[in-house]
Structure 1
């Protein structure tokens, strides 16, 4: 074997070892991030007042009217006097799928007692009606599901992340805005803190 071939082979071995070490480092970091995410006791991420994604905490929730799956209009301001969990979601969103059973369980167990209405706004701009209907049926959702077929509500509420959830008090004021999936305990804690 010539010296040039030995040098080339040595370089290939070194490159391979560096690639293996880098791969192991990346794998370890991904596993660490995954573990930290699973250990986090608080699902979702609260949006602060100064965030560019904040729609305006401690301000009245922007009003809108959208149709339900049945074709009936629902206006947000008609729910004044009740606490409202306003959730934006899509059928193709894995975290939305994860949180929906928690929303349904909350609705069945606590909505009446807590004077709460859940309003789930489907991102119908990118969903097919049949997909929405199948999703609602497969999760046995009994709270109102609204269809967002135009951009205006998404833009008004700055919905750039799905799921996005707004906690609105009985006076119609947004108290919390949360990005990411929620579980039953977190829903209950947020609602209990509302006026």
Structure 2
């Protein structure tokens, strides 16, 4: 009888150990898969070429808002960004602004933003920029490029010019000319 109890206790111990070991291995496998997925989604920036072509790490820059606040493109890492080069005198820029505002309002809580870079050097009157933005109802971030440095880096020779940048800071697309709502929505929903 004692021998049977001893054997049952050993079998119970082995079964318990087997269950514990299986659960532990499954948890480790799940952690490993989660880490692998995170690693896939994270990009090693040191291995990427900085540039404006598709697949390049978008060149970082720092510009000031109308209020004097400094904003860097890299501040938006982790978000999808539509980087838009524009001016108040540009008719196609005026056409796309309302759709950009709609996109911003719809997706701002889903890690999507619009960053509008005003080609300030081309403006006749810099004081007209805030009035323009108020009239258009623009609430997305707007920065000033007073020396056209960013326009030069991003080769914005025609306005508007936009870049779609994924959440890892990688250029996915360049668009020359105005965009419309459906076009912007399609681009941002198709990228990481």
**TM-score, reference length from structure 1:** 0.70
What's 1:80 paired with? 77
Match of 2:114 among 115, 118, 135: 118
Where do residues 35-46 of structure 1 align in structure 2 (5 Å cutoff)?
none
Separation in structure 2 between the aligned mates of residue 143 and residue 110 of structure 1, nearest angstrom: 11
Deviation at 1:84, TM superposition (A): 0.6
What's 1:151 paired with? 148
Measured on the aligned residues, the alpha-carbon RMSD in Å equals 1.1
Structure having greater relative contact order (Cα 8 Å, sep ≥ 6): 1
Deviations 1:112-135 (A, max 9, x none): 23x111100001011122111111
Deviation at 1:55, TM superposition (A): 2.6
Residue 173 of structure 1 pairs with residue 170 of structure 2: yes
Structure 2 contact 81–165 (Cα < 8 Å) conserved = yes
Deviation at 1:111, TM superposition (A): 2.5
Residue 161 of structure 1 pairs with residue 158 of structure 2: yes
- Structure 1 spans left out of the alignment, 5+ residues: 1-53
Deviation at 1:175, TM superposition (A): 0.3
Structure whose CA Rg is larger: 2
Q: How many equivalent residue pairs? A: 141
What's 1:131 paired with? 128
SS at match of 2:127: helix
Separation in structure 2 between the aligned mates of residue 190 and residue 95 of structure 1, nearest angstrom: 19
Where do residues 65-76 of structure 1 align in structure 2 (5 Å cutoff)?
65-76=62-73
4+ runs of 1 displaced by more than 2 Å? Answer: none
Deviations 1:141-177 (A, max 9, x none): 0001100001321111000010001000000000000
